[in-house]
Structure 1
Amino acid sequence: MIVNVHMDEEDRRTLDALARMWERRDAPPADLAERMIAAVAVDDLSREYALLTEVSAGEVAVRSEQERLTLQFSDETTSVLLHVSATESGARRVDGWSEPSVLAARLSQDAREWAAELSDEGRFAFADVTPGLSSVRLIVRLDGELREFITPQFEV
């Protein structure tokens, strides 16, 4: 709905006086816009672009029963280490460690999900995972608040 309002000079002076009064009484912090942009950007970066570093890998060119892969993800506040290994059945086991400790963990592949077995000190594990493109979603407590951490996709 568009409304055309005719403002005369007295209306403009009144609005200018109100704006000046509110700027004196309840001025926003000078860096409010920059802080809000940074906060949104950091939140978005931690969700979408966690740093992925391959720490070590077994025989990259050959898949075998002994294949092992270690991945590390970090976003400045949460650090996750994942160790992927093949099982005798051909499935994968994914062991993980997180700082801060994990309250809940899920591994996702398209429409499938696995819930982790949690243990003390930030450890968690997913058993019998089908090989394929995966991501891990963690819930951690940081400074008294619950926080979600999602890894980029990786091959299991």
Structure 2
Amino acid sequence: MYQELRGVLLTDVDSMGAAERAVLALVADRWPSSVRGDTTTLEFSDGTTTVLVYVSEAEGGARRVDGWVDAEILEIRLDQGDRQWRTVQSTRGRFAFERVDGGVSRLLLRVRGADGEVREVCTPQFET
């Protein structure tokens, strides 16, 4: 079951249009066209769940995506079009994708909030 994010019900988390219409606040140190040779810090929030993301360059031109969520993560994946990466997260809301391709990405999470409710959260697109 998908939860309402700022008045928009996500009925298909894999629908890019629905994910982009979900009004998530974006606060960024900067919004780069790429992060080659840099580290970028992003913060996404829907007013209930906050996701912090750090994107940096990895060996061989790949990207590393580290992050933290202020809720218990049950499942997390990073999507780039038809490609998907999954990772194991710690019990304290931390996660890392060690080697992903550069490109337009988004995170899809299933989390349990402090109230025990399980929610699906999808970030807006960001550049890795």
Same fold (TM over 0.5): yes
Shift of the 63–124 alpha-carbon distance from structure 1 to 2, 3 Å rule, reads closer
Q: For 2:86, which of 108, 115, 118 is the aligned residue?
A: 115
**Is 1:82 matched with 2:53?**
yes
Which string of whole-angstrom CA distances, capped at 9 and with x for unpartnered residues, describes residues 23-48 of structure 1?
xxxxxxxxxxxxxxxx9673517851
**Is 1:42 matched with 2:6?**
yes
CA RMSD of aligned residues (A): 2.5
Identity %: 43
What are structure 1's unaligned runs of at least 5 residues?
1-38
Count, aligned residues: 115
* Structure 1 equivalent of residue 29 of structure 2: 55
Shift of the 41–114 alpha-carbon distance from structure 1 to 2, 3 Å rule, reads closer
- Compare relative contact order (CA 8 Å, sep 6+) and give the higher one, 1 or 2: 2
Which string of whole-angstrom CA distances, capped at 9 and with x for unpartnered residues, describes residues 92-121 of structure 1?
010010011211100000000000221121
TM-score (norm 1): 0.65
Q: After TM superposition, where is structure 1 displaced by more than 6 Å over at least 4 residues in a row?
A: none
Higher helix residue share: 1
Report deviation, 1:62.
Answer: 8.4
CA distance in 1, matches of 2:88, 2:4: 32
What are structure 2's unaligned runs of at least 5 residues?
11-18
- Residue 42 of structure 1 aligns with an amino acid whose one-letter code is R
Higher strand residue share: 2
**Is 1:99 matched with 2:70?**
yes
